[in-house]
Structures are given as structure tokens and as C-alpha cells.
């Protein structure tokens, strides 16, 4: 490994092979972290887009109606009264 001394001149650092390998691992770790964050942000964007589309098509309203204990049908008032 060559360490700069402030100008164009450089000198050899003892044990440079181990330091160079460590520096390479730190750079590789940064690349992996960047890739993981990019994938996570992309997954968030895709999930929000799918939720937007489901809301736009009325799928979320349909799920809420199906999950309601009393829908707007003939037995809704009876269901409310018996509650």
C-alpha cells in the first residue's frame, strides 16, 4: 500500500498488504450496504404503488365491506339490534 505524504511523493507502509485488504473489505461493505438500502427503498416504492392501485380500483373498500360485521343488506338492522 502506498500512503501519500501530502505531495506527489509517496512511501511504502510496512504491513501494507493487511491494511490494503482491510480497506478493500470496508469498501466492499459500503457497496453491499448501498445495494441493500437501494433494494429496500425500491420495495417500499413498489408496495406504495400497489396500495395506491388497490385503493384506486376499490379493492380496499371491498375488503372493508366484507370484514364489516353488518353490511348494508336486509339483515343489517337486525345485526345492529342484536349487538
pLDDT at 1 over 50: no
Q: Note the pLDDT tens digit of each residue in 29-53.
A: 888 899 999 999 999 999 999 999 9
Q: How confident is the model at residue 19 (pLDDT cuts 50, 70, 90)?
A: low
- Phi/psi for 26 (5° steps) reads -65, -40
Say whether pTM exceeds 0.75. Answer: no
Q: Average pLDDT of the chain?
A: 76
Amino acid at each position: 500500500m502506498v500512503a501519500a505524504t501530502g505531495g506527489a511523493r509517496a512511501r511504502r507502509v510496512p504491513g501494507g498488504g493487511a491494511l490494503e485488504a482491510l480497506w478493500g473489505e470496508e469498501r466492499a461493505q459500503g457497496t453491499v450496504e448501498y445495494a441493500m438500502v437501494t433494494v429496500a427503498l425500491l420495495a417500499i416504492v413498489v408496495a406504495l404503488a400497489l396500495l395506491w392501485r388497490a385503493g384506486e380500483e376499490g379493492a380496499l373498500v371491498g375488503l372493508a365491506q366484507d370484514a364489516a360485521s353488518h353490511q348494508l343488506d336486509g339483515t343489517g338492522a337486525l345485526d345492529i339490534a342484536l349487538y
